[in-house]
Amino acid sequence: MTFSFQHPVSVQELGESLANFSLDRESVLFALSRLPDEHSINKVTIEYEIQLLKILSVGWGISYFMEDHSEKSPLIKKFWDVLFEFSKNLSSVTSLTIGKEVDYFRALKERIDIYLRALAEVPHVKDPASVIGPTFARLCGSMDNVHVIMAGNRIFHLSLEGVKHFLESVFSDASDLPTQPAYPDRQYGAVEC
């Protein structure tokens, strides 16, 4: 079954909107604001990693919630195309600023691999956030900090919910969207970027 659009909007516009949502700072700042002021928490690293996790979570959400729909592939392609262009521009500006080569898109790909390996180690996990949060905390250098783990869980869930609500608002027949959070594995677009 394919979705029918409630509003006249193209798959390209949807992909751009979801890419913009993945880059939006509001939920990132919300998650950061929940962290206590501890010297052991490197908020700069957490802010960097949480933005990467949000982008990946939105990508997984698109793949999961659009599963079995003809719009899935072109929507995912547009989403990652927009992020590739953004990454290219960000990398260029950052490289010029700091005088060192930076490849933001490569960082996204590396994080995909890290999260997928972590999930593969626990193949029957009921809630992927129970793996995502600790993996996020490890990437932030705060492996045992419950606040950092919860920040990763929070951004993962907020991103998936945002994608679901966005798709429900755009498509008139969203009743067949899955209701549970996505299990981000290879079939959910993680290797499609």
Note the pLDDT tens digit of each residue in 120-158.
999 888 889 999 999 999 999 999 999 999 999 999 999
Q: How confident is the model at residue 184 (pLDDT cuts 50, 70, 90)?
A: very low
DSSP letter string over 52-91? Answer: HHHHHHHHHHHHHHTTT-TTHHHHHHHHHHHHHHHHHHHH
Give tens-digit pLDDT for 33-72.
889 988 889 999 999 999 999 999 999 999 999 988 888 9
Q: Find tokens 């909107």 and name the residue.
A: 17
If DSSP codes are grouped into helix, strand and coil, which group holds residue 171? strand
Domain ranges of the chain: 11-188
Instruction: Report the distance separating Cα 169 and Cα 89, nearest Å.
Output: 31
More confident residue, 68 or 173: 68
Give tens-digit pLDDT for 67-98.
888 889 999 999 999 999 999 988 888 877 87
Which amino acid does the sequence have at 161? Answer: E
Listed in sequence order, the DSSP H helices in the chain are 11-23, 26-33, 43-65, 72-98, 104-120, 129-139, 146-170
